[in-house]
């Protein structure tokens, strides 16, 4: 038997969902069965699977120890002595990291899990005593947004469940503005405007396609842009994401004839050749927490704006 005392990060969850997180090797169907048979009890009594947990509740699981085996999240953070994070902002609820180009946000095929942004964030919190996995039954610090491997810039991480829920809700409600800097070939006309269309994702090719009209499986994509500088055949744009589709900025700019410098997927090798750049010139440059509606525990962030420390291509091509 294992007993879990519900803490703030686990409060508000359904009993069945908490069970699957606390016992990661327990099959969902078996979890439902054990709840029905009262082998999983809430405050000493049987409970329905959709019972909501409150801080201070006791959940006792009369199940085999084998279902609790394994380390949540893979434990990659345990091997990191120096997280090497560029932290733009941090408080007790969130952290804004300035990700370097070339690093994945989450583990991918053939990539060491320790060489990811989320593992380094978790290592930073673990080594600083801000997160103790043994004291958390189900919550793990998580990223609220992600950017492409070869894109640099700001990524928001949540340190607790309440912050994760609020930031994710605000992103979905478009109450957090995300701005990118992009170096492109040519100059868009007009010099400021709004790109509207639809994006279809080909998962097998990990590539998206832009269309002017809605087609089955396509999703609306909207980006605002303005030219902020020019140099030779390049333009520096600031782009504001209205929607957040996969490869949205890269695909939409290529679609209007202004591909990103160094973009091997949507760009043009003949135009890139003179510059010798092998990564797209794209940086998640600025984040604004507008929060026009209530943000609960994060209301103190309303109106706050944060900027990435640098975008290497700005200095290299536009200084």
Residues 194 and 294 in one domain: yes
Residues 209 and 289 in one domain: yes
Average pLDDT over residues 23-46: 92
Residues 262 and 194 in one domain: yes
For the chain, percent of residues with pLDDT exceeding 70: 95
pLDDT band for 135, please (50, 70, 90 cuts).
confident
Residues 156 and 192 in one domain: no
For the chain, the average pLDDT equals 92
Question: Residue 247 sits in a domain of what CATH number?
Answer: 3.30.2350.10
Take residue 271 and report the two structure tokens written for it: 């135009």
In DSSP terms, 223 is beta-bridged to: 195, 241
Side-chain-side CA neighbours of 40 within 13 Å: the count stands at: 25
Question: Residue 60 sits in a domain of what CATH number?
Answer: 3.10.290.10
Domain boundary among 172, 193, 220: 172
Yes or no: say if 225 and 188 are a contact pair by the CB < 8 Å rule. yes
pLDDT at residue 77 in the model: 76
From 10, 148, 162, 272, active-site residue = 148
Residues 150 and 192 in one domain: no
Rounded CA gap, 319 and 261, in Å? Answer: 16
Residues 40 and 131 in one domain: no
Average pLDDT over residues 181-196: 98
The number of distinct structural domains making up the chain is 3
Contacts (Cβ under 8 Å, ≥6 apart) of 145? 155, 156, 171, 178, 244
Residues 202 and 275 in one domain: yes
112 is catalytic: no
Average pLDDT over residues 93-111: 88
Domain boundary among 38, 68, 98: 68
Residues 193 and 282 in one domain: yes
Cis peptide leading into residue 190 (ω within 30°): yes
Whether residue 134 is predicted with pLDDT greater than 90 in this model: the reply is: no
Residues 192 and 288 in one domain: yes
Number of H helices, E strands in the chain: 7, 14
Tell me the H-state helices in 103-160.
Answer: 117-127
Q: Which domain holds residue 257?
A: 176-318
Take residue 284 and report the two structure tokens written for it: 């998640």
Please identify which residue in the block is written with the tokens 């940086």: 283
Rounded CA gap, 263 and 281, in Å? Answer: 7
Whether residue 126 is predicted with pLDDT greater than 60 in this model: the reply is: yes
In tens, the pLDDT along 172-187 reads 999 999 999 999 999 9
Residue of higher predicted confidence among 118 and 138: 118
pLDDT band for 59, please (50, 70, 90 cuts).
very high
How many CB atoms are closer than 10 A to CB 289? 21
Burial 134-169 (b: 16+ CB within 10 A, else e): eebbbbbbbbbbbbbbbbbbbbbbbbbbbbbbbbbe
Residues 201 and 294 in one domain: yes
E strands, the chain, are 2-5, 40-42, 58-61, 87-90, 94-99, 142-143, 152-158, 176-185, 192-202, 207-211, 219-231, 234-241, 282-289, 305-307
Residues 181 and 61 in one domain: no
Domain boundary among 43, 68, 93: 68
pLDDT band for 115, please (50, 70, 90 cuts).
confident
pLDDT at residue 310 in the model: 78
Residues 112 and 244 in one domain: no
Question: Which pTM value belongs to this model?
Answer: 0.82
Mean pLDDT is lowest, of 10-14, 67-71, 237-241, 288-292, for 67-71
pLDDT at residue 75 in the model: 66
């Amino acid at each position: 038997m294992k007993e879990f005392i519900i803490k703030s990060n686990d409060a508000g969850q359904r009993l069945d969902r908490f069970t699957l997180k606390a016992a990661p090797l327990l099959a969902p169907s078996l979890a439902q069965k054990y709840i029905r048979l009262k082998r999983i009890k809430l405050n000493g009594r049987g409970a329905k699977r959709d019972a909501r947990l409150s801080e201070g509740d006791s959940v006792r699981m009369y199940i085999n120890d084998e279902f609790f085996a394994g380390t949540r999240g893979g434990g990659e953070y345990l091997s990191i002595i120096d997280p090497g994070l560029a932290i733009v902002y941090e408080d007790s609820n969130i952290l804004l990291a300035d990700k370097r180009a070339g690093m994945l946000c989450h583990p991918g095929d053939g990539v060491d899990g320790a060489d990811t942004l989320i593992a380094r964030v978790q290592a930073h919190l673990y080594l600083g005593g801000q997160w103790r996995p043994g004291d958390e039954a189900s919550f793990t610090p998580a990223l609220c947004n992600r950017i492409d491997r070869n894109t640099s810039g700001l990524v928001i991480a949540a340190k607790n469940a309440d912050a994760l829920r609020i930031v994710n809700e605000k992103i979905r409600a478009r109450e957090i503005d995300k701005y990118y800097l992009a170096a492109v070939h040519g100059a868009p006309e007009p010099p400021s405007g709004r790109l509207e269309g639809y994006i279809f994702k080909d998962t097998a090719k990990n590539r998206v396609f832009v269309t002017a009209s809605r087609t089955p499986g396509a999703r609306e994509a909207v980006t605002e842009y303005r030219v902020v500088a020019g140099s030779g055949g390049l333009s520096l744009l600031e782009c504001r994401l209205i929607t957040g589709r996969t490869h949205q900025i890269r695909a939409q700019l290529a679609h209007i004839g202004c591909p990103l410098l160094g973009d091997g997927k949507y760009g043009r090798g003949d135009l890139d050749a003179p510059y010798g750049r092998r990564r797209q010139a794209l940086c998640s440059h600025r984040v604004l927490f507008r929060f026009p509606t209530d943000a609960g525990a994060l209301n103190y962030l309303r109106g706050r704006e944060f900027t990435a420390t640098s975008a290497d291509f700005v200095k290299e091509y536009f200084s």
